[in-house]
C-alpha cells in the first residue's frame, strides 16, 4: 500500500484515512484552530469536505483526470487498494496541508 512513498507521505495518507489530520475540524478539538470551519465555506473543514469544497474544484478535476473517473468515492480513493499518489497530490494542491512534507 505504501510502497514507493516517503515516510511523510505514508503518514499523511494514513492521517487522511483516519481524519486525524491538520484540517480545522480536527484542530479545533484541540483548541489549535479558531473555528472548525473551512476558510472558504461555512461548514466544518474535514477530509470529506475537501473532496467537494468548491474552492478545490480545479484540484479535484486534476485528480479525476489522473484516476480516469469521477465515480470513485472518498472511501475508495483512500482504500488500501488505491494508488495513494494522486490523492496525496490532490491534498498537497489544496494548500491546506502546508505543515506536511508532500
Distance CA 70, CA 60 (A): 9
* pLDDT at 98 exceeding the cut of 90: no
- The residue among 77 and 102 whose pLDDT is bigger is 77
Given the C-alpha cell 512534507, which residue does it identify? Answer: 101
pLDDT in tens, 11-57: 999 999 999 999 999 999 999 999 999 999 999 999 999 989 999 99
User: Which residues 6+ apart lie within 8 Å of 89 measured at CB?
Assistant: 62, 63, 66, 102
Distance CA 27, CA 59 (A): 23
**Domain ranges, ordered by start, for the chain:** 7-93
Distance CA 47, CA 12 (A): 12
pLDDT in tens, 71-89: 778 888 888 677 899 999 9
- The residue among 102 and 46 whose pLDDT is bigger is 46
User: Which residues 6+ apart lie within 8 Å of 18 measured at CB?
Assistant: none
- Provide the whole-model pTM: 0.87
Amino acid at each position: 500500500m505504501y510502497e514507493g512513498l516517503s515516510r511523510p507521505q505514508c503518514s499523511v495518507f494514513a492521517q487522511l484515512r483516519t481524519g486525524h489530520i491538520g484540517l480545522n475540524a480536527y484542530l479545533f478539538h484541540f483548541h489549535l484552530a479558531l473555528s472548525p470551519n473551512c476558510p472558504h465555506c461555512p461548514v466544518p473543514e474535514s477530509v470529506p469536505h475537501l473532496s467537494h469544497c468548491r474552492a478545490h474544484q480545479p484540484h479535484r478535476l486534476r485528480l479525476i483526470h489522473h484516476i480516469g473517473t469521477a465515480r470513485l468515492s472518498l472511501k475508495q480513493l483512500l482504500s488500501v487498494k488505491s494508488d495513494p499518489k494522486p490523492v496525496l497530490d490532490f491534498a498537497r494542491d489544496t494548500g491546506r496541508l502546508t505543515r506536511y512534507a508532500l
